[in-house]
Amino acid sequence: MSPHLVDITGLAALSLNVAGLVRTSDRSLRHSTGWASALGAANNLLIGAQSAAALSFLSVGRQVSASAVQGGSQPAKLVSCLAFLAVTLLIGVFTWNGLTTLFSVAGSMLATYAMFYMRSVALRLAMIGVAALWMYNAWAYDSWWQMFANTLNGAAAAYGALRASNAKVAV
């Protein structure tokens, strides 16, 4: 494993996540975090975190699906959300590695619900919770990149929530 590749994938994923979280557009957030998830999956594979890598790969599909059903029928949204929640649980079962997996699965499930059902300020506040839950994975694998990224993502989500809140007031 190349330490430079770990750094590059981590920095690229971080940049995309922060860019999406600070914007007030939910569509933009879903799009950029989808790409960030792909890079995050590669980063997790490189550090040996298989559960986190599998969940990150799954989140790429989740972001695409959540974007596709926004504004669509409630049954389609519900079925899609439940399918991603079920697959998340299955990944957790098949890649079980103790508390690390538990926190990662919880973070992924919160992100799944948020991407399908939350908007604006609530969506960004949920992303703070997601960053906090994924922090355990970063700590468990001694990944300072991911610790830094989760801290910055939480701060970016808070800033994005503030911007979205101010945008609502201005409307």
Over residues 146-164, the pLDDT tens digits come to 899 899 999 999 999 999 9
* Sign of the CA dihedral running 82, 165, 31, 14: negative
pTM for this one? Answer: 0.88
* pLDDT for the residue 1: 60
* pLDDT for the residue 50: 87
User: What mean pLDDT do residues 130-135 have?
Assistant: 96
* pLDDT for the residue 52: 85
Name the H helices within the chain. Answer: 3-22, 26-47, 50-69, 74-94, 99-117, 120-140, 144-170
Contacts of 21 (CB under 8 A, 6+ apart): 29, 33, 124, 127, 153, 156, 157, 159, 160
Strand, coil or helix: 97: strand
- Looking at every residue in the chain, the average pLDDT score rounds to 92
pLDDT, tens digit, 9 for 90 and up, residues 71-127:
889 999 999 999 999 999 999 999 898 999 999 999 999 999 999 999 999 999 999
- Quote the DSSP letter at residue 70: T
**Partners of residue 97 on adjacent β-strands:** 99
* pLDDT for the residue 171: 43
Instruction: Label residue 137 by pLDDT band (50, 70, 90).
Output: confident
Residue 70 pLDDT more than 50? Answer: yes
Report the percentage of the chain scoring pLDDT > 70.
Answer: 97
* pLDDT for the residue 169: 61
Report the percentage of the chain scoring pLDDT > 90.
Answer: 76
* pLDDT for the residue 2: 79
